[in-house]
Amino acid sequence: MAQLNVDLVAADRKIWSGRAQRVTAPAADGEIGILADHSPLLSVLREGSVRIVAEGESLELRVTGGFLSVDSNQVTIVADSVESVPASR
């Protein structure tokens, strides 16, 4: 199954990057879920939590805003600030 390449970056550093099955993010009009082969999308993010479900791990981070772009399985989440450090469960 195709996977997503996810990059999560904040203004001054890269926070997480890797392959994931599913990403959910707080888009402007409501929570948005992204699976592989999603159509290209550029969205503004509200304050909320971003969840990344990857092989064997999943992480949840609070972001205070930013934007999200999806383009041929490349997901880039640009966050203004990320509140909790990634902790794998």
Partner 1 sequence: MAGSQRVYKQRIKSTQSLKKMFRAQELIAASRIGKARDRTAAASPYARAITRAVSAVATHSTTQHPLTSERTDTNRVAVLVVASDRGMAGAYSASIIRETERLVERLVAEGKEVALYAAGRRAISYYSFRGRTLAGTWSYGSDAPNSEIAGEIADALLGAFLAPVAEGGVSELHIVYTQFVNMVTQRPRVVRMLPLEVVEGVAPAGKHDVLPLYDFEPSPEAVLDALLPRYVRSRIFSCLLDAAASELAARQRAMHTATDNAEDLIRNYTRLANQARQADITQEISEIVSGADALAAS
Question: Could you list the residues that contact partner 1 (CB under 8 A)?
Answer: 7, 9-14, 27-29, 32, 39-44, 65-67, 69, 71-72, 76, 78, 80
Supply the minimum distance, in Å, between the C-beta of residue 88 and partner 1.
Answer: 21
**Minimum CB distance to partner 1 smaller for 59 or for 66:** 66
End-to-end CA distance of the chain: 23
**Minimum CB distance to partner 1 smaller for 20 or for 66:** 66
DSSP state of 11: T
DSSP state of 82: B
Residues in CB range of 84: below 8 A, 6 or more apart: 60, 61, 62
Supply the minimum distance, in Å, between the C-beta of residue 32 and partner 1.
Answer: 7
